[in-house]
Homo-oligomer: A and B are copies of this chain.
Amino acid sequence: MDHFSPVDFSNVDVTGGFWAQKQALIRDVTIFAVRDRFADTGRFQAFECGWTEGSDLPRPHYFWDSDIAKWLESAAYLLQKAPNDALQQQVEQVIDLIEAHQSPDGYFNIFHTVVEPENRFRVRDHHELYCLGHLIEAAVAYYNATGRDRLIQILDRYIDLVIRVFCVEHSAGFETPGHEEIELALFKLYRLRGERKYLKLAMFFLNERGKKNENDIGWCNERYNQSHLPVRQQHTAEGHSVRACYLYSAMADAAKETGDRELFEACRDLFDDIVTKKMYITGGIGSSHHGEAFTVAYDLPNDTAYAETCASIALAMFADRMKEIDLDAKYADTVERALYNGVLAGLSLDGKAFFYENPLEINLADHTRHTSVRDGDRLPITQRLEVFGCSCCPPNVTRWYASLGNSVCSVGENTVCVHQFLPCRVQLPDGAVLTMETNYPHDGKVRLYLDGAKGQRLLVRVPGWCKNAAFSVPVRINRGYAELTADSEHFTLDIDFPMQPVFYHANPAVRADAGKCALMRGPIVYCLEGIDNDGALFDLRVDTAGAATLRFDAQMGANVITLPAEKSCAAASPLYFCDDVPREKTTTAFIPYYAFANRGEADMAVWFRTLGA
């Protein structure tokens, strides 16, 4: 096991480029769009705990605490970078309400305070510990941003109650959380405060999980919430994909904190199972809406892809943790894949609307195929919404992109690792400073300055998509990282990751992609959208040997790629025929996958047919 530590985003200033724009969007638009929709839907007011049966207030849902908690966490990350009194005041108001409505014994949960007080800690799937986990993450973020620990103090009393109920009295209706989250939150709090009770509680929940069948949900089995086996015996990714990756993240935290080799190996197997068998090319995971779950290996349908935005974030969280204990580029590659594709597609270009599900193919005809029945097949929606009944994804997007700097660098003994590429200035723990200049992801040239670190080892990820990286000094490549030594106090490194359009095949076992290709350029997955391509996308055959043309599109923030293609001639043909299909030449335009569905409803396809394939 390796042992690296991430450089906190507070020490990473994004100085321009693609991500500075996205972070500005989060800071200026998205955080308020999410806040306003949460206000509209009664989520903020719910913290006043005023709901009673028959009242005019919306009935709180048992995951509403977590929606606001993730918003608080996002606000804290923004506050850390730029003070904003109004935002801080709003956070404090929520904390006031939590304090005011915390039970004398420390308990706090809106739903179980006002709707089902009799069911406190009785129903495993009611998300109480999940909500507490998100509140803990918010509390840690807010403390880091402001030095104010009031929320931590409140939650510390709640955690003491949880320890008493679950670990001492065993008086709850279940033993481990139905929706994992508190485990990884407790590791964060433990790292901040150093109190072993947090570590012990996290390890308790991890160690008890899957020891006995405590599932209380009729429509699923124990795999749904990863309770089918003790965690150290889990080697394939199963069940609800967000829950799974939150659990796996906590397992990686535990492996790092305790050096538990068995846990580490389980994590490694789980990660490999996902990225070699169960992940869309976009970094989407959880291919089915049934249980929002992983299914079987290579089962990756495109048009019905669930690929929840939160699940891609959770995968990136897991991968980011894994790279600290097992330095291999596959982890940061996966973070990058999610960052630019599966997660980014979740956010509209104007920063106000979200996808919960992220299909890789849209055929509008499928949405109106049923002409005589009122309800037909269940399909992902085709346009982003501003808020959902279950609105977990929007504040997950805000918190992740606001704290994106966490993924950029990590440090180990006499070593600096660079995982992601963006213009930034990184204050390293020992006083050294790493500066990156790059136009990434638009081109692959990166200039790296390392000041005050003479003699340190530098490990720079070579992205998995890049086959011919060039470095200005000799390097040795090991597990996807270029290794070199900074030989001066003002060390400069020039890197070129040449970017061109590249066509990908899927493993022959992926039925949905058989006979098709996907297009990437650098880390960005492209797609065809009906708006740019007359006629049926499935009829197009792209000439992968043809000359690609790039045109920068400012609205999309990336290059549009055009390629020659063929399509069937418009002439009517019978339904079935044995002559060759008459075809004509055409040109087809690809846009970044993350930018689809920003110009109205249209067909869309990531995987497409090619000439002669």
Contacts and interface: CB of A to CB of B under 8 A. Distances in A.
- Among A224, A238, A575, A577, the most chain B Cβ lie within 10 Å of the Cβ of A575
The 10 closest A-B pairs by CB, nearest first: A508-B568, A223-B372, A239-B372, A224-B372, A295-B369, A291-B373, A514-B538, A290-B373, A511-B538, A220-B373
Interface in A571-596: 573-578, 581
Nearest to A279: B575
A296 interface: yes
Given A363-B511, A514-B538, 20 more contacts: A219-B373, A220-B372, A275-B575, A276-B574, A277-B575, A288-B377, A290-B370, A291-B372, A294-B372, A295-B370, A296-B368, A296-B371, A504-B578, A505-B577, A507-B575, A511-B538, A514-B539, A514-B609, A515-B609, A612-B612
A375 B290 contact: yes
A65 to B, nearest CB: 25
Contact of A371 (B223, B276, B375, B609): B223
Nearest to A218: B374
Contacts of A576: 281, 504-507, 518
Given A370-B295, A514-B538, A508 B573 contact: yes
Contacts of A370: 288, 290-291, 293, 295
A375 B219 contact: yes
Interface in A385-425: none
A330 to B, nearest CB: 10
A536 B508 contact: yes
Interface string A491-534: 00000000000111111111100110010000000000000000
B369 A219 contact: no
B373 A577 contact: no
Contacts of A279: 575
Interface in A196-240: 218-221, 223-224, 238-240
14 contacts: A219-B373, A223-B371, A281-B576, A288-B377, A290-B370, A290-B375, A291-B373, A363-B511, A505-B577, A507-B576, A508-B568, A508-B581, A511-B536, A514-B538
Contacts of A567: 508
A429 interface: no
A72 B275 CA distance: 59
Given A508-B573, A578-B504, A371 B612 contact: no
A365 interface: yes
A371 B229 CA distance: 14
Interface of A: 218-221, 223-224, 238-240, 275-277, 279, 281, 288, 290-291, 293-296, 299, 363, 365-366, 368-377, 502-511, 514-515, 518, 536, 538-539, 567-568, 573-578, 581, 609, 612
Contacts of A578: 502-505
B373 A293 contact: yes
Nearest to A303: B511
A162 B507 CA distance: 63
A150 to B, nearest CB: 40
Contacts of A294: 371-372
A288 B515 contact: no
A291 B507 CA distance: 37
A365 B293 CA distance: 16
Contacts of A377: 288, 290
Contact of A536 (B219, B365, B509): B509
A507 B372 contact: no
A115 to B, nearest CB: 26
Contacts of A574: 276, 507
A505 B224 contact: no
A507 B573 CA distance: 6
A217 to B, nearest CB: 9
Contacts of A365: 296, 299, 511
A424 to B, nearest CB: 28
B505 A369 contact: no
Nearest to A568: B508
A496 to B, nearest CB: 19
Contacts of A376: 288, 290
A433 B574 CA distance: 37
Contacts of A296: 365, 368-369, 371
A474 B373 CA distance: 52
A232 B221 CA distance: 54
A526 to B, nearest CB: 13
A290 B224 CA distance: 28
Nearest to A504: B576
Contacts of A371: 223, 238-239, 293-296
Contact of A240 (B220, B224, B372, B502): B372
A240 B370 CA distance: 11
Contacts of A366: 299
Nearest to A518: B576
A366 B299 CA distance: 8
